[in-house]
Amino acid sequence: MSVTPYRRVLEVSDARRILLLGFLIRIPIFSAGVILTLHVVERLGRSYTAAGLVAAGATLAVAASEPLRGRLLDRFGLRKVVLPSLVMTGLCWSVAPFVGYWKLLLLATVGGLFAAPTFSIIRQGVMAAVSIDDRRTALSLDGVILELSYMVGPLVSVWLTTFVSTAYVLFGVEMLSVVGCALLWWQNPSLRAVDTVRLEGVPTVPRRAWFRPGFVAVCGAAAAGTIVLTGSDVSIVAAVQEWNAVAMMGLVLVFWSLGSVIGGLVYGTLSRAISPFALLLGLAMVTAPMALAGGIVRLGALAFVAGLFCAPTVTSTVDAVSRMVPGVARGEALGWHGSFMTAGSAVGAPLAGVAIDHLGFRGGFLSVAALGVVVAGGGWFAMKLRRRFVAQHALAA
């Protein structure tokens, strides 16, 4: 595996800056999801289904707001979009960890409506900093750094819950997330869509020009991939709970993320892209065997294998979307992409939660893996039909 493509990306100072910022901002974001599940199940004494509903409320709210926030990013820039998020999320999460279940559900949902489009901003910043030839490598590197954030955040936060109440840990990670948004507002990295409009005077592109079946299909693959990942996350929590080994959960997550880091690094050096649907199918196929784990060691090993497909699957969908959409509409397009992924998170958590409540953690892994296989097969078939339709009309013309 050649490191030359990564060296080219890291030689760009703007790329280094936005990648480091992305690493710091995502640590508390990834910590919050795991801690929220533990908080609802352990401190509030609710089921995994109930925990999934809280996650679903927050993530569906984020999904509903992301396309609009992406469009606002294209028109008004980062600071005017992020500032309201700083205020509202800070207010909501300063209270939510210390109230009952239903108030937590409400506050988490309101907080989700005002969540900053952090992932979209970081990815736009990464793409703005490099040439189009290095875009997939830069996005792969961002995916790797994302996984490093995932390795650090949950490991530390889960360890903290062995000494401190989940309420205080949840409060801490959410306040760190607010600080991260403030840092993003202060740095105000360049976004390609905004720069294109300002420098070239290009008018806004109508949504109908790019919001086509191919775009929707790729976003659907992104959503399905997130369902698999989120459902696996909840299933891992359930597995270590069943084995009375919550303190070891961070180790499993580290192995999972390590596999994703390796997979992402390899994918970033490939000479050509791989279909998002092929990668989604691979992700689903390697997730299913995690249901066979009988202990921490085996679960960690299987998680490592499953992780090899995590970062490449997400990166392939971001790369595909960025190439389908003109630069002046990229903020909104990535907003829709993020909305699909967030909706996938909303579906994945309760889907796995219901399966876990009825069939144990094994059912959680199998349910989301099965859905991933179905979506990958359907998406591949739909794109094949679309290519055949385009080819026939080209010949007829």
For 5, 57, 186, 341, 344, the CA distances from 230, given in Å and listed in that order, are 30, 14, 31, 10, 8
Residue 43 contacts residue 96 (beta carbons within 8 Å) = no
| pLDDT at residue number 157 | 82
Contact 289, 364 (CB under 8 A): no
Domain ranges of the chain: 11-396
CA distances (Å), origin 7, targets 12, 141, 187, 243: 9, 11, 24, 43
pLDDT for the residue 367: 93
Distance of CA 363 to the CA centre of its chain: 23
Asked whether 51 and 41 are in contact (CB, 8 A), the reply is yes
Query: Do 335 and 210 form a contact (C-beta atoms < 8 A)?
Result: no
DSSP single-letter state for residue 188: -
What does the pLDDT read at residue 195? 42
Of 169, 164, 166, 156, the closest CA to residue 249 belongs to 156
Is the CB of residue 96 less than 8 Å from the CB of residue 114?
A: no
Measured CA distances, 315 to 97, 99, 184, 246, 354 (Å): 33, 37, 22, 30, 29
Q: What is the DSSP string of 164-185?
A: S-HHHHHHHHHHHHHHHHHHHH
Report phi then psi at 45, rounded to 5. Answer: 70, 30
Assigned token pair, 157: 């936060």
| pLDDT for the residue 334 | 82
Q: How far apart are CA 161 and CA 157, in angstroms?
A: 7
| Angle at alpha carbon of residue 341, lines to 337 and 342, rounded to 5° | 115
Contacts of residues 358-363 at CB distance under 8 Å and 24 or more positions apart, as own/partner, are 360/238, 360/242, 361/235, 361/236, 361/238, 361/239, 361/242, 361/291, 362/291, 362/292, 363/291
pLDDT in tens, the chain (397 residues): 667 888 888 888 888 888 888 888 888 888 887 888 888 988 888 887 788 788 778 877 877 887 877 777 777 778 888 888 888 899 999 999 998 899 999 999 998 888 888 888 888 888 888 888 788 888 888 888 887 887 787 778 878 888 888 899 999 988 988 988 888 888 888 775 344 444 444 456 677 777 777 788 888 999 999 999 989 988 998 898 888 887 788 788 888 888 988 998 888 888 787 889 999 999 999 999 999 988 898 999 999 999 999 989 988 998 888 887 777 777 778 888 888 887 787 788 788 888 998 888 999 999 999 999 998 888 777 777 666 655 665 555 5
11-396 CATH, one of 1.20.1250.20, 3.40.50.150, 3.40.50.1100, 1.10.1200.10: 1.20.1250.20
The tokens for 140 are 């792969």
Record the tokens describing residue 52, joined without a space.
């999934």
> In the block, which residue shows the tokens 């490592």?
304
Structure tokens at 285: 């196929």
Which residue type is seen at 97? P
In the structure encoding, which two tokens stand for residue 25, read together? 């901002």
Give the DSSP letter of residue 40.
I
Q: What is the pLDDT of residue 397?
A: 53
Residue type, 265: L
Helix H or strand E encompassing 351: helix 330-359
